[in-house]
Amino acid sequence: PLLPGSLVNGRPALLGVLGGGQLGRMFVHAAQSLGYETVVLDPDPASPAGMVSHRQIVANYDDPSALAELHASAHAITTEFENVPAEALASLALQRPVAPAAEAVAIAQDRVREKAHFVRSAQSSGVAPAPYAVIDSEEDLSKVPEDLLPGILKTARLGYDGKGQARVSSRQELAAAWRAAGSVTCVLEKLLPLALECSVIVARGRDGQVASLPVQRNLHRNGILAVTEVYEGSLPEDLASRAQQATRQIANDLQYVGVLCVEFFVLQDGSLVVNEMAPRPHNSGHYSVDACDCSQFELQVRALTGLPLPAPRQHSATIMLNLLGDLWFDASGNSRTLPWEQVLAIEGAHLHLYGKLEARHGRKMGHLTMTGASAADVRASALQAAALLG
């Protein structure tokens, strides 16, 4: 392990992260609190993580000289988003511990490979993905089974927050949507009757030990996560343990090292369906910073450096509210000041702003985690906060 407080050439060990967004920023916070120094690679000189890191390399993720610099300086390297070129991770891994591995990231960034992996893990866990077909050509369009419609067409690569998706209810709509997406490789998934959505975050070490956070119940608005709730009774007990079991299986089958989040659907008949995974901490796990004794970001640091991964204990009921840029504007589109004094007067309110200099509609500016002694307490305070924010 790369021990906290150990000096390398007279300096604390340096942890590198590919990507400078809010996930990288919170990784940096966790790494620094354990005494590590950090270096962030991101093309934006004012990136949320770069602004709090000891060092930042301002360059693209596939810039060879930037990767060489990262390689030469960082003692272990992780990523905060899945669309880094997997080759960049693979080349870095030749001489440095890198977690997650390039291969796992390559699978997670491609819905076709991701679904194939889920189908494989389902043989042991019993939790399968939605019925789907891969669409790679005009010919594939005509072969799509009728019972996949109505469905959702998703580009295989680069989709997030509902982007790169289209709902289609007929073959004509499907063909039009596929062409509108640029005729790139897509998956068509059957549209399922969702009762609710949840996600599970695990951290897996090089020795195969796995720590799991409690199961998160998630509410999306316009394809973007809006609210995460984690408290006793937020999900049926048996469902939570099945989702955790399936997530462990998926991580083990990948020989995964690092933090992994798996999203699930719960259908109206109570059955569980696996949706997608992220090879990194996840927006739905932000509550763990304030409501658990070990956060998803500390788990990421620990998995990367080879430290122990004890099971995190949740000590407070919690509701996380995402703060999108929309809140920074009033009804007529003028920018407004948010009532933080009133919000922060509510007991158990924890505000996290990511230091982004410009608010835009749909942009994740921060989040507010409410904690309380009970589900009823935290529900009441989350309602109060939501009413103030409007």
The listed partner (ligand ADP, Mg ion, none) that binds 344, CB under 5 to 8 Å by sort, is none
For residues 218 to 257, the per-residue mask of contacts with Mg ion, x marking binding by CB under 5 A and - elsewhere, is ----------------------------------------
Nearer to ligand ADP, 273 or 299 (CB): 273
Query: Which of 22, 53, 247, 275 forms a contact with ligand ADP (CB under 6 A)?
Result: 275
- Residue 152 binding target from Mg ion, ligand ADP, none, CB below 5 to 8 Å by type: ligand ADP
205: enclosing H helix or E strand: none
Q: How far is the CB of 161 from Mg ion (least distance, A)?
A: 8
User: How far apart are alpha carbons 126 and 337 in whole angstroms?
Assistant: 49
Residue from the set 191, 267, 351, 359 that interacts with ligand ADP by CB under 6 A: 191
The nearest distance, CB 135 to ligand ADP, in angstroms, is 15
Within 8 A by CB and 6+ apart from 258, the residues are 78, 99, 100, 104, 203, 204, 279, 280, 300, 303, 304
Task: Using CB atoms within 10 Å of the CB of residue 161, give its burial: 0 to 12 exposed, 13 to 18 middle, 19+ buried.
Answer: middle
Rounded to the nearest whole angstrom, what is the least distance from the CB of residue 220 to Mg ion in the complex? 8
- Which secondary-structure segment (H or E) carries 265? strand 258-267
Q: Contacting ligand ADP (CB under 6 A), which of 192, 227, 346, 359?
A: 192
Contact flags string 124-143 toward ligand ADP, x per CB under 6 A: ------x-------------
Site string (33-72) toward Mg ion, x via CB under 5 A: ----------------------------------------
Token pair 């992260």 in the structure block, residue: 17
Per CB under 6 A, which of residues 142..181 are in contact with ligand ADP? 152, 154, 159-162
d(C-alpha 104, C-alpha 95), whole Å: 18
How far apart are the C-alpha atoms of 190 and 177, rounded to whole Å? 15
Q: Say how far apart CA 369 and CA 27 lie, in whole Å.
A: 17
Closest by CA position to 231, among listed 296, 287, 276, 176? 287
Token output for 132: 């789907």
Residues that bind ligand ADP (CB under 6 A): 130, 152, 154, 159-162, 189-192, 194, 197, 220, 223, 263, 275-276
